[in-house]
């Protein structure tokens, strides 16, 4: 039971323990999609985690898919995130920023000029997004032209540079959960017949180009990536997840990325949603393996002891438990989440959950 609470070396960083706070969308960005005034307190409260991965943050105006999610492409956004990273570092914490392009999981009301969201192919996402203070169907996307794709890669690269300028210790490329890079990788969303569609190699191309560009910009030792090989999140599907993600992980490993963050099973759902050899991904990747999805202390302890993961990501438990590490270590009961304050709002249900000492 002690291994999870022991320090761990992640590239140039020494983490206080092996517990990771997974990125959690909370829809609380202020005007200009600058991080909420309460965000610095929220993240600093949770800085006892070995690593914080800040919420998914769009790399450009086109990359937005939900209302009130923060960006990392303007000077005001960079300055807003600097307040957050300073607060986390003052508490001795380490924090990465998750870089996000949602692709087709968006709505015309969120897109510049009311344009259609972009995607690998003009196939709508069978899911809803949060816009105009309600959940509504996503809009019909348009397929990206071949000549537009380099600009997407450039946006990821610039966003990574901006994140370092904002004081983050590194970034996580969001290649999971049915968003743009995952849409390109999976043939249920990608019907292209050019260099970015068809074969396993072609469908992996955009994710690998983004990973390479970000690593070249800020260093592979500060670049992680998140994938979800079998998750049906946001209506995405794949007919060949094992060969597809074996290939992707082999090439991500060659890039020397510092970690691979894997959603094992359906995001926020069952771990056994489809057959998949996650242990095989672990063996294929030379860096740190972060396991995610449905972990409690017992399961985390077992996987660490078996060498099946290096770090364990916890998501929802961190929402209501700013001192989750201390609660796990002491065996204390966890606070319950208030569902009504999950998305949007201010401090209530965000930075006002009590710690053990306050309770």
> Do residues 251 and 284 make contact, with C-beta atoms less than 8 angstroms apart?
no
Domain-embedded: residue 294: yes
- 42, 179, 289, 343: the catalytic one is 179
Residues 6+ apart with CB under 8 A from 25: 55, 56, 66, 69, 343
Q: Among all chains, which residue has been given the structure tokens 């995610």? A: 292
Domain-embedded: residue 27: yes
**The predicted structure's pLDDT at residue 235:** 96
3-state secondary structure of 35: coil
Domain that holds residue 122: 3-319
**What is the Cα–Cα distance from 322 to 166, expressed in whole angstroms?**
23
The secondary element (H helix, E strand) that includes residue 119 is strand 118-119
**What is the Cα–Cα distance from 273 to 276, expressed in whole angstroms?**
9
pLDDT tens digits along 240-287:
999 999 999 999 999 999 999 999 999 998 899 999 999 999 999 999
Phi and psi at residue 165, to the nearest 5°: -60, -30
Structure tokens at 14: 């020494």
Q: Among all chains, which residue has been given the structure tokens 């292209």? A: 192
- Count CB-CB contacts under 10 A for residue 76: 14
pTM: predicted TM-score of the whole model, two decimal places:
0.97
> Do residues 265 and 231 make contact, with C-beta atoms less than 8 angstroms apart?
yes
What is the SS3 string spanning 81-100? HHHHHHHHHHCCCCEEEEEE
- How many structural domains comprise the chain? 1
3-state secondary structure of 352: coil
Mean pLDDT for the chain? Answer: 97
Q: If pLDDT is split at 50, 70 and 90, which confidence band does 359 have? A: confident
In the chain, the percentage of residues whose pLDDT exceeds 70 is 100
**What is the Cα–Cα distance from 359 to 274, expressed in whole angstroms?**
41
**What is the Cα–Cα distance from 170 to 158, expressed in whole angstroms?**
13
**What is the Cα–Cα distance from 50 to 310, expressed in whole angstroms?**
12
Domain-embedded: residue 335: no
The secondary structure of residue 351, as a DSSP letter, is T
**CATH (domain of 148):** 3.20.20.70
pLDDT tens digits along 5-15:
999 999 999 99
Domain-embedded: residue 102: yes
Per DSSP (E only), the strands in 101-231 are: 118-119, 128-131, 134-137, 142-143, 170-175, 223-227
**The predicted structure's pLDDT at residue 358:** 87
Active site residue 196: no
Q: If pLDDT is split at 50, 70 and 90, which confidence band does 185 have? A: very high
Residue range 328-354: mean pLDDT, rounded: 96
Domain-embedded: residue 339: no
Structure tokens at 230: 């079998």
Residue range 222-247: mean pLDDT, rounded: 97
Domain-embedded: residue 359: no
pLDDT at 355 over 80: yes
């Amino acid at each position: 039971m002690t291994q999870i609470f022991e320090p761990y070396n992640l590239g140039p960083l020494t983490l206080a323990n092996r517990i990771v706070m997974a990125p959690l969308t909370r829809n609380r960005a202020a005007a200009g999609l600058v991080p909420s005034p309460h965000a610095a307190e929220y993240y600093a409260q949770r800085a006892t985690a070995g690593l914080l991965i800040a919420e998914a943050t769009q790399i450009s105006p086109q990359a937005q898919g939900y209302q009130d999610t923060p960006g990392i492409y303007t000077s005001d956004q960079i300055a807003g995130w600097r307040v957050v990273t300073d607060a986390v570092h003052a508490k001795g914490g380490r924090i990465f920023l998750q870089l996000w392009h949602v692709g087709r999981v968006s709505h015309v009301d969120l897109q510049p000029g009311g344009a259609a969201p972009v995607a690998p192919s003009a196939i709508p996402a069978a899911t809803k997004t949060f816009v105009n203070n309600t959940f509504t169907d996503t809009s019909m996307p348009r397929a990206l032209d071949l000549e537009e794709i380099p600009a997407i890669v450039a946006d990821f690269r610039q966003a990574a540079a901006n994140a370092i300028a904002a004081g983050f210790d590194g970034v996580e490329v969001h290649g999971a959960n049915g968003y743009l890079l995952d849409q390109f990788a999976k043939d249920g969303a990608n019907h292209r017949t050019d260099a970015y569609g068809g074969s396993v190699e072609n469908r992996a191309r955009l994710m690998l180009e983004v990973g390479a560009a970000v690593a070249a910009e800020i260093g592979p030792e500060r670049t992680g990536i998140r994938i979800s090989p079998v998750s049906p999140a946001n209506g995405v599907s794949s007919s060949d997840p094992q060969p597809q993600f074996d290939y992707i992980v082999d090439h991500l490993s060659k890039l020397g990325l510092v970690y691979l963050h894997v959603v094992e099973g359906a995001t926020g759902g069952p771990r056994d949603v489809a057959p998949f050899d996650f242990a095989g991904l672990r063996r294929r990747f030379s860096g740190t393996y972060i396991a995610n999805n449905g972990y409690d202390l017992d399961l985390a302890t077992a996987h660490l002891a078996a060498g099946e993961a290096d770090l364990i990501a916890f998501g929802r438990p961190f929402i209501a438990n700013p001192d989750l590490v201390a609660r796990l270590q002491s065996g204390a009961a966890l606070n319950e989440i208030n569902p009504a304050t999950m998305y949007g709002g201010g401090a209530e249900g965000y930075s006002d959950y009590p710690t053990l000492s306050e309770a």
